[in-house]
Amino acid sequence: MSEDVVVTGRFDLQGRLMKGFEEIDRILDRLKKDDDPDRQMAAIAEHRKHVALAERVWKTAIRAEAVAEFQAFVLETLEGASVKVRRRVMGLFEAQGAE
């Protein structure tokens, strides 16, 4: 997400992901000391799942942010446009949304 955006609480994706990784790192450190190779492999597999999930979360967040930025740009641009241009652009959006 943009560096100038400060997000807290439920939508603090970076904070929540980092907290999850810290917990996984603690678990992995414990399991590295375990002599059971099956448990070590299970820990590695779990870590891979968390990395894949984090990647999907970030891609979704980036996509959502890009859409929001585009919408803001369009709305800001339309503020200075004539009524005729606004209607034409909104008609294009509505037609696209109906597909």
Does 1 reside within a domain? no
Does 4 reside within a domain? no
pLDDT for 6 beyond 50? no
| Confidence (pLDDT) at 4 | 46
Rounded Cα–Cα distance for residues 81 and 84 (Å): 8
Domain that includes residue 72, residue range: 9-98
Does 30 reside within a domain? yes
Does 88 reside within a domain? yes
Count of the separate structural domains present in the chain: 1
Does 3 reside within a domain? no
Rounded Cα–Cα distance for residues 69 and 4 (Å): 13
Per-residue pLDDT tens digits for 35-94: 888 888 888 888 788 788 888 888 888 888 888 888 888 888 888 888 898 888 888 888
Q: Rounded to whole angstroms, what are the CA distances from 37 to 3, 31, 51, 59, 91? A: 41, 9, 21, 33, 62
| Six-digit token string for 41 | 């492999």
Rounded Cα–Cα distance for residues 29 and 43 (Å): 10
Q: Looking at the whole model, is its pTM more than 0.75? A: no
For residue 30, give the nearest of 38, 39, 21 by alpha carbon.
39
Does 39 reside within a domain? yes
Does 21 reside within a domain? yes
Per-residue confidence band for 11, with pLDDT thresholds at 50, 70 and 90: low
| Confidence (pLDDT) at 10 | 55
Flag the least confident range among 1-10, 18-27, 29-38.
1-10
